[in-house]
Structure 1
Amino acid sequence: MTIRQATLSDLDTLVSVARQSLYAAFSPEKYPGNPIQQYLDEAVTVPVYAQEFTNKRATFWLAEDDDGQAIGFLKLHAHAPPRRMPIRNALEIVRIYLLDEYVGRGYGRRLMQHCLDYAHNQGHAAVWLGVWEHNAPALVFYEKMGFVRLGWHVFWFAGERQRDFWLWKAL
């Protein structure tokens, strides 16, 4: 797997990977009543992601397999962390997406290590992220990667109020 910084020319690929990975992770079969399709149609579109690319504090990274096919991506964002965070010089891991067929094969760990290395190399002392309280596989993964719970916040998902846990890790 290679990880490279994404550009605007990768926009369609990023949106496709995001839509596929999110649907697989949060499908109605796994979470009955979860409005995943509405969320995808509202928040995971080329225009929305194109707007996100204009933020100078955000970086996108594309993960590709050995054949150059996109298998996942990351979005990192340098801005103020949650108030309770003990280390203020931190980088947010906004998105860490991996296509379903690559989950559980070590690729997620490699994507996360890229985040940690990048944050450290940029001079950050910690990273943080938000994860849905019912996303048990992600919570287990983040715990294995050394993240600890900091608190929670409201995340609006297709007009539905959901709770995300804040997790953080010192570097």
Structure 2
Amino acid sequence: MIPYLCDVDIVDVNEKLSLHPLRSSDHARHYALLRRIYPPAFSYLWPDNGEGYVERIHGYEAFIRDLAEPDTPYYRVEWDGRAIGILRLQLHYPYPGDPEVPALKLDRLYLGPEARGRGVGTSLLRYTLDLAGDLGKRLVWLERMESNEATVAFYRSRGFRDGGAFRYDGPDMLDQYRGMRRLWYPLT
């Protein structure tokens, strides 16, 4: 069985890649990491280059709320001991297209540019799919920005199917970038 937050302290995905469960004392480090890795990929979405989004989603109060959510492991991703991203899973989160099917949501996966070309995304996706299978889930799903074509293509190339489009309804995002894509992966 694949370990997750409730079972272990650190998950070694492979010899260089590890997942470190986040705790409330990790906020300053987490926030600094997100301020470093989010803007290069997503600043174009926001009039303030994403600063408000990072504060709203990763500020202290939001961070503590996220940590308190049950069955929602939240990790700092490290490569060879260096923080390069985050992974947040919602272990029992219904898929909107078929809420009766047992599902896991890959809620957040942000990686810094230094992760590219190392197989980090593929390894984390494999970990997520294996964990979902071990938990008896029948599908894994996620939501990503349509404008982030490389990420959408990454998931599609690994067998994810189109679950439809919708619009981001949160505050402040530039209107022309509000398109979102829901993707899902069948486990059975």
Q: TM-score band (shorter)?
A: 0.7 to 0.9
1:142 aligns with 2:155: yes
The secondary structure found in structure 1 opposite 2:180 is strand
1:26 aligns with 2:42: yes
Which structure: greater strand fraction? 1
Q: Report if the CA contact (8 A) 1:61-1:75 is conserved.
A: yes
How far apart, in 2, do the equivalents of 1:9 and 1:120 lie? 31
Give unpaired runs (5+ residues) of structure 1: none
Partner amino acid for 2:76? L
Partner amino acid for 1:58? T
- The correspondence for 2:169, drawn from 145, 156, 163, is 156
- When normalised by structure 2's length, the TM-score is 0.78
Q: Which residue of 1 aligns with 2:129?
A: 116
Q: What RMSD over aligned residues (CA atoms) do the two structures have, in Å?
A: 2.2
Give unpaired runs (5+ residues) of structure 2: 1-16
Q: Which residue of 2 aligns with 1:80?
A: 94
1:9 shift after superposition: 3.2
- Worse overlay, 35-44 or 133-142: 35-44
Q: What percent identity do the matched residue pairs reach?
A: 27
1:64 aligns with 2:78: yes
- When normalised by structure 1's length, the TM-score is 0.85
1:117 shift after superposition: 1.4
Q: Which residue of 1 aligns with 2:29?
A: 13
Q: Report if the CA contact (8 A) 1:39-1:157 is conserved.
A: no
Deviations 1:110-158 (A, max 9, x none): 1111111111122211100000111111111111221111112332343
Change (3 A) 1:42 1:4: closer
Change (3 A) 1:13 1:124: farther
